Structure 1
Amino acid sequence: MDTEQQRFMNMKRRVYKIVLPVLTVSLGLSLFMSAHKGLLLTINLILLVGMLFAWLFLSTKLPLRVIEWFLLTLAGIYLLTMVVQGVYTQMLGHGETSLGDFIVWMPMISLLMFLLFDRWPALIANLALFTVLVLPAVPAFPRLNPEQNESLILFYSGIVVYTSLAYFLHQLYRTRAEQNAMLRFAYVDALTGIANRHRIDTWLRKKVELGEETGKLFSLIFFDLDNFKDINDIYGHKTGDDVLRQLSKVVGEELDHGDLFGRWGGEEFVVLTDTGEEESFRLAERLRKALEDHDFGIAGRVTASFGLSVNRPGDTAESVVSRADERMYHAKQAGRNRVTGRTMVSGDG
Structure 2
Amino acid sequence: MSFHFYKNQTFTQWKVKVYLILLPVFFIAFAIIFGLLVKAGSISLLNMFTFTSLCIGLLTCFLLLLIKKNTFHFIELAISILASVIYILRMYDTILMDLGVAGNDNLGTVSYWYPIFYFLLFITFRGLTAFVISACIFITTLLPGFYHVFFSEMANSNTLDVIIQFFSANAGFIVALYFLQRVIETFLEAEVSKHYANTDYLTKLPNRRKMDSLLQQEIVRAGNREEQLTVILFDIDHFKKINDTYGHEIGDHVLEELANLVKDSLRKSDFFGRWGGEEFLLIAVNTPLSKGITLSNRIKDLIATHDFKQIEGLTCSFGVAEYVNGDEAKDLLRRADNALYKAKEDGRNQVEAG
TM-score scaled by length of structure 1? 0.83
Distance 1:211 1:8 in 2: 33
Distance 2:92 2:222 in 1: 74
Show the 5 A alignment for 1:67-216. 67-91=75-99, 93-142=101-150, 143=152, 144-208=155-219
Q: Deviations over 1:28-59 (max 9, x none)?
A: 45553798543443343344334344434434
Distance 1:43 1:214 in 2: 63
| 1:189–1:263 CA contact under 8 A, matched in 2 | yes
How far did residue 10 of structure 1 move?
A: 5.1
Q: What root-mean-square deviation, in Å, do the aligned CA atoms of Structure 1 and Structure 2 show?
A: 3.1
| Residue number in structure 2 paired with 1:269 | 280
Secondary structure of 1:223's counterpart equals strand
Q: Deviations over 1:278-311 (max 9, x none)?
A: 3322222221111101111112211111122334
For residues 155 and 216 of structure 1, do their structure 2 counterparts lie closer, same or farther at Cα, with a shift above 3 Å needed? closer
How far did residue 321 of structure 1 move?
A: 1.8
| 1:47–1:75 CA contact under 8 A, matched in 2 | no
Answering whether residue 253 of structure 2 is matched by residue 242 of structure 1, we say yes
Distance 1:315 1:66 in 2: 53
Distance 1:261 1:312 in 2: 21
Distance 1:126 1:54 in 2: 22
Letter aligned with residue 79 of structure 1: Y
| Residue number in structure 2 paired with 1:255 | 266
| Residue number in structure 1 paired with 2:50 | 44
Distance 2:30 2:130 in 1: 25
Most deviating of 149-158 and 233-242:
233-242
| Residue number in structure 2 paired with 1:346 | none
Letter aligned with residue 337 of structure 2: D
For residues 108 and 259 of structure 1, do their structure 2 counterparts lie closer, same or farther at Cα, with a shift above 3 Å needed? closer
How far did residue 73 of structure 1 move?
A: 2.9
| 1:304–1:338 CA contact under 8 A, matched in 2 | yes
| 1:220–1:270 CA contact under 8 A, matched in 2 | yes
Percent identity, please. Answer: 30
TM-score scaled by length of structure 2? 0.82
For residues 169 and 91 of structure 1, do their structure 2 counterparts lie closer, same or farther at Cα, with a shift above 3 Å needed? same
Secondary structure of 1:191's counterpart equals coil
Q: Deviations over 1:309-339 (max 9, x none)?
A: 3344654322322232222222222222112
Letter aligned with residue 65 of structure 2: L
How far did residue 124 of structure 1 move?
A: 0.5
Distance 2:149 2:61 in 1: 36
Secondary structure of 1:58's counterpart equals helix
| Residue number in structure 2 paired with 1:55 | 62
Most deviating of 268-277 and 117-126:
268-277
Answering whether residue 312 of structure 2 is matched by residue 300 of structure 1, we say yes
Distance 1:173 1:297 in 2: 42
Q: 2:233 aligns with which of 191, 207, 222?
A: 222
Most deviating of 107-116 and 306-315:
306-315
| 1:222–1:308 CA contact under 8 A, matched in 2 | yes
Distance 2:226 2:147 in 1: 83
Letter aligned with residue 47 of structure 2: L
For residues 72 and 202 of structure 1, do their structure 2 counterparts lie closer, same or farther at Cα, with a shift above 3 Å needed? closer
Aligned length: 340
How far did residue 111 of structure 1 move?
A: 1.9
How far did residue 12 of structure 1 move?
A: 3.1
Distance 1:243 1:269 in 2: 13
Distance 1:271 1:167 in 2: 44
Distance 1:76 1:130 in 2: 10
How far did residue 95 of structure 1 move?
A: 4.2
Distance 1:309 1:164 in 2: 57
Most deviating of 330-339 and 184-193:
184-193
Distance 1:213 1:79 in 2: 58
Distance 2:220 2:18 in 1: 43
